[in-house]
């Protein structure tokens, strides 16, 4: 990876963006693996898929980190809300499926 200011033209810049997109997708896939594991562990611990205090904690941390990195905290929060809601739907579906198969 080269820094944005080192890109000499749009072709070079787009190569860097595409590389970052691949990394982001890989990281999101890894995160989804943890979400799947959470759906396995939560029932045994008596936890629901949606835990409001955890959501609040994650959003606060993401907003703070975004600010530290120079990213608009409002953008980060919006993205993470979508990510969290997707994760909750995924957990709920997995938990319901396991419950039905008992």
| Helix 52-69 / helix 73-100 crossing angle, nearest 10 deg | 150
- In tens, the pLDDT along 34-72 reads 999 999 999 999 999 999 999 999 999 999 999 999 999
pTM: 0.89
Fold of 8-100: Chorismate Mutase Domain, subunit A (1.20.59)
- In tens, the pLDDT along 73-91 reads 999 999 999 999 999 999 9
User: At 15, which helix (H) or strand (E)?
Assistant: helix 10-41
Domain boundaries, the chain: 8-100
């Amino acid at each position: 990876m080269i820094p944005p200011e080192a890109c000499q033209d749009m072709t070079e810049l787009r190569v860097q963006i595409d590389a970052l997109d691949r990394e982001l997708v890989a990281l999101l896939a890894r995160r989804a693996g943890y979400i799947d594991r959470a759906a396995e562990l939560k029932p045994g611990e008596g936890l629901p898929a949606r835990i409001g205090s955890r959501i609040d904690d994650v959003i606060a941390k993401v907003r703070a980190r975004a600010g530290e990195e120079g990213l608009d905290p409002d953008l980060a929060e919006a993205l993470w809300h979508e990510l969290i809601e997707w994760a909750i739907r995924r957990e709920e579906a997995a938990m319901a499926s396991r419950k039905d198969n008992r």
